[in-house]
Amino acid sequence: MMSPTRLLRSPLFLLLSSAPLLMAASPDLTIADFEGDSFGDWKVSGDAFGKAPARGALPGQMPVDGFRDRGLANGFHGGDDAEGSLVSPEFKIERKFINFLIGGGKFPGETCIELKVDGKTVRSAMGRNEHPGGSERLEWESWDVSDLAGKNATLHIIDKRKGTWGHLTVDHLVQSDAPATVAIDKEFVVNQRYLIWPVSKGNGERRRFFGTLDGEDKPLFYSDIALSNNPDFWVFTDLANYQGRRIKITGKIPGNLAAAWEKVAISATYPGEEELYKEPLRPQYHFSSRRGWLNDPNGLVWKDGSWHLFYQHNPYNHGWDNMHWGHAISPDLFHWKEGPDALMPDPEGYMYSGSGFVVPKSKTSLPIKGSEALVLAYTSEGTHSYVPGLKATQSLAWSDDGGKTFQKYKGNPVLPHQVGGNRDPKVFWHEPSNHWVMPLYLDGDEYGLYTSKDLVKWDEASRYRIPTDAECPDFFELPVEGNAKESRWVAWGAQGKYMLGSFDGKDFKVESGPHQHYFGAAYAGQSYDNAPDKRRVHIGWMRDTGAGINGAPFNLQMTLPIDFTLRRIDGKLRLWSEPSAEVTKLRADTKEWKDFTISPGDADPLSDFKGGQFEIEAVIDAKSESSEMGFVIFGEAPAIWKKSDQNFSGAAGALQPMDGKLNVRIFVDTVSMEVFVNGTYVSRYIRQTPGIKPARIATGGGAVHFDSLKIHALKSVWK
């Protein structure tokens, strides 16, 4: 970026300034970008703006953002009380608009920028703050100067004010044929399911939009959306629950996005829907979102024969943002049908993680309609709200129609801010003490336990720690070896570490831990509290430290559903994971080999297998000659057990054979691989390489004996 002086003197400027006036869509002319080491030809008076552009916030100033690149004109040198001004060299008005970024105080004539022609002020603009609090963010402003075409003008950046918000910030002054922003305000009749948006991938250039239903004051949602004239893909607001209503969309967009905004429409389909679930990177038997980003599973609850899976969702782009609760329902934990988002960000802020549970009318003072309701407990992440000054608090929403539509409780929050980024309430009913319990993440490695008789009034009961873990508590009781007479409570954290102990309805007494259960990509999982047959079914999020599922209009997937049990292994109590039995229904074709030994150089029985969705099931003799035994997936992803450290690839710990055997199940689905060995669980994302065999046996260290080996092709759940 050039300094103002360099630009005004540059050949580029001379070239542009001799171009015909107000030609349609001529390139922008930069008046000043405040990127240089001085104000150049601008006249500096007083102290407020210092001697040169600032590089952000000045000592004592709140964080300043919204300016472009590195520098800006910042009137906070010497604090609010200092005064001063910046006056530009004279320039000719050659475009229809002057656009700029502005922030700071809102005091007419005192904290403002003025455009002067022939000594007269012809335009003026201010910051947006008058009272303590507020925001130092710079926002776009535009002046329509088409009536001043050809005139010579000067710009005056003025700070003549002392005290609260007695300063102004300005950046990126340009002449342009398009306004920097236009206010949009359009009402749509919701007579089809989707409101569709063309977007570019990435969160760089986002614009904030508000959606308000007819007759309501409070917006139904707000979101930052990267609207684009050249979309990478299309996203949608699923309005299935608002058919027959009207929705007004308001916001501000740059003038040059007018064409993209014209394409935002109500539609029965969205571009790309014909390819839905057939996209090359789409997991075929794991849950992934139709569109956008996915993280933590939320609100896992079973009701009337359906498994509900809610999840952290940004419906509008590839990365984490705009936290909604997505929602899908399945009869069997695999065939999911995705519906509209259940919770959307609104004045409460972002809708962070939490839980779902079925509530009889007698056990709550929430104004539910029928004899029971499906209730969601979630974090209202107020620091992300457009309402300033809010914090993270805990809130409730419920459904009177079995999970189709949800309403937020008018009395939210039900638990005020406790500490730090407190979040992720996992509420359950504790029958022996006849009250609700809310494990809540507090801060560091600390969690709190809160209790309530009615879900609305909560008391703190106690606190516990999961050393070295954080976030997303799960908290549940499991029988030891299936024996209901002996049980332990499991306090689980986002990284899959857990404490074992006892729980009396108020206090958690630790017996042992932390134990690490998960390894690899899985994170922030939780379990169903009310699954049939007393099953403890758990689903995690598979996060990716790499580029995610790059190139697709969706990002990331859930783990397989996993059944947890508690077993005694070498005298020690430990969680045990098995893939939920429903997965066997997906088997389409099975090849089986029994009791054989394979040595380096031998033909590999798996070498004929083709496909990207399969399960390997094997019992390997751990006393085989080889020092290493297992499999390699798509030529690069090892699932190999080493005798030396008894470590199975990716699992940061020893894994002992049981009765001398390794019981292995490996699930591969398009972009992911999950390995279950003797009750442990490891997962990772993989990249398939065309021409590379999906699976081979690893025999690097010598002969390996298999008691049995099967490979099952698995069916897509989307067909």
Catalytic residues: 296
Query: Does residue 352 bind ligand FRU (CB under 6 A)?
Result: yes
User: Is 471 a binder of ligand FRU (CB under 6 A)?
Assistant: yes
Give strand pairing partners of 519. 682
Residue length, the chain?
719
Binding of residue 224 to ligand FRU (CB under 6 A) = no
Question: For residue 430, with 0-12 CB atoms within 10 Å meaning exposed, 13-18 middle and 19 or more buried, which class applies?
Answer: middle
Nearer to ligand FRU among residue 251 and residue 326 (C-beta): 326
- Looking at residue 5, the DSSP 8-state letter turns out to be H
Could you say whether residue 346 binds ligand FRU (CB under 6 A)?
no
To the nearest whole angstrom, how small is the minimum distance from the Cβ of residue 512 to ligand FRU? Answer: 25
* Cα distances (angstroms) measured from residue 547 to each of 122, 175, 288, 556: 50, 38, 16, 10
Instruction: Report how far residue 704's alpha carbon sits from residue 711's, in angstroms, rounded to the nearest whole number.
Output: 17
- CB of 325 or CB of 641, closer to ligand FRU: 325
Quick one: 82 or 524, whose CB is closer to ligand FRU?
A: 524
The residue among 308 and 423 lying less far from ligand FRU, judged by its C-beta, is 423
Q: Binding marks (x or -) toward ligand FRU, 357..386, rule CB under 6 A? A: ----------------------x-------
| DSSP letter, residue 63 | P
Identity of the amino acid at 154:
T
Cβ burial 370-401 (10 Å sphere, 16+ → b, else e): eebbbbbbbbbbbebbeeeebbbbbbbbbbbe
Residue closer to ligand FRU by CB (options 178, 472) is: 472
Q: Coil, strand or helix: which one is 274? A: helix
Mode of pairing for the β-strands spanning 350-360 and 372-381: antiparallel
Q: Closest distance between ligand FRU and the C-beta of residue 490, in Å?
A: 19
Starting at the earlier edge strand, list the strands of the sheet with 182-189. 182-189, 246-253, 207-213, 221-225
Instruction: List binders of ligand FRU among 301-330 (CB under 6 A).
Output: 312, 323
Decide whether 193 or 308 has the Cβ nearer to ligand FRU.
308
| Shortest CB 312 distance to ligand FRU, Å | 4
Is residue 80 near ligand FRU by the rule CB under 6 A?
no
Of 480-499, binders to ligand FRU (CB under 6 A) are 494
Site for ligand FRU in 107-126 (CB under 6 A): none
Footprint of ligand FRU on 383-422 (CB under 6 A): none
Work out how close the CB of 235 gets to ligand FRU at its nearest, in angstroms, rounded to a whole number: 18
Q: Return all residues near 380 (Cβ < 8 A) that are at least 6 apart.
A: 348, 349, 350, 351, 352, 390, 392, 393, 394, 395, 412, 413
Q: Which of residues 521-540 bind ligand FRU (CB under 6 A)?
A: 524
Size of the site for ligand FRU (CB under 6 A): 13
- DSSP output for 395-451: EEEEESSTTS--EE-TT--SB---STT-B----EEEGGGTEEEEEEEEETTEEEEEE
Q: Please identify which residue in 195, 359, 472, 558 interacts with ligand FRU, judged by CB under 6 A.
A: 472
Smaller CB separation from ligand FRU, 53 or 439 = 439
Smallest gap from Cβ 291 to ligand FRU, in A, equals: 17
Q: Which helix (H) or strand (E) holds 60?
A: none
Nearest approach, Cβ of residue 343 and ligand FRU (Å) = 12
Both tokens assigned to 453: 């008789």
Among 295, 495, 577, 670, binds ligand FRU (CB under 6 A): 295
SS3 22: coil
Q: Indicate which single residue of 207, 423, 435, 536 sits in contact with ligand FRU (rule: CB under 6 A).
A: 423
* Residues linked to residue 479 through DSSP beta bridges, in sequence order: 487
C-beta closer to ligand FRU: residue 3 or 379: 379
| Alpha-carbon span 227 to 229, nearest angstrom | 7
Residue 162 identity (one-letter amino acid): K
Site residues for ligand FRU, 558-587, by CB under 6 A, read none
User: Least Å distance between CB 472 and ligand FRU?
Assistant: 5
How is 106-155 classified by DSSP, letter by letter? -BTTTEEEEEEETTEEEEEEE-SB-SSS-----EEEEEE-GGGTT-EEEE
Which residues would be at the binding site for ligand FRU (CB under 6 A)? 295-296, 312, 323, 352-353, 379, 423-424, 471-472, 494, 524
